[in-house]
Amino acid sequence: MVRCFMDKKDLITEWLKKSEHDLGTAKITFLNKPEYSDTICFHCQQSVEKALKAVWIKLGIKIVKTHDLLFLLDKISEIKDIESEIYKYCEY
């Protein structure tokens, strides 16, 4: 991604598109090779990470290099009220 030349809306769209690609990869792998659970989980995590980073951009938070879903959620919750229920899905 060429972030420095993209406006906010385009950048959010790009992150969400990449999130969808990771989720699609996880689904295809699950349907065709369910025994590849590590790869499926990796792409699911990547999908959520990219979606959360799109939210960061929307909220005006500067993106940092991290793969920690709880960290990403915590930063969002400092600005927006997040249902505590969502945290249980990011524990692993």
- In this prediction, residue 82 has a pLDDT band, given cuts at 50, 70 and 90, of low
- Which pTM does this prediction carry? 0.81
Given a contact cutoff of 8 angstroms between Cβ atoms, the answer to whether 91 and 85 are in contact is no
Q: Does domain 7-90 fall into CATH 1.20.120.330?
A: yes
Residues 6+ apart with CB under 8 A from 67: 45, 49
Given a contact cutoff of 8 angstroms between Cβ atoms, the answer to whether 51 and 34 are in contact is no
Q: Check residue 2 and give its pLDDT.
A: 46
pLDDT digits (tens, 9 = 90+) for 7-65: 889 999 999 999 999 999 999 999 999 999 999 999 999 999 999 999 999 888 899 99
29 vs 91 pLDDT, higher one = 29
Q: Check residue 33 and give its pLDDT.
A: 98
The alpha-helical segments, DSSP class H, found in 33-84 are 37-59, 69-79
Q: Check residue 73 and give its pLDDT.
A: 87
Which tokens in the block code for residue 90? 């990011």
Q: Check residue 91 and give its pLDDT.
A: 62
CA angle 80, 22, 77 (to 5 degrees): 10
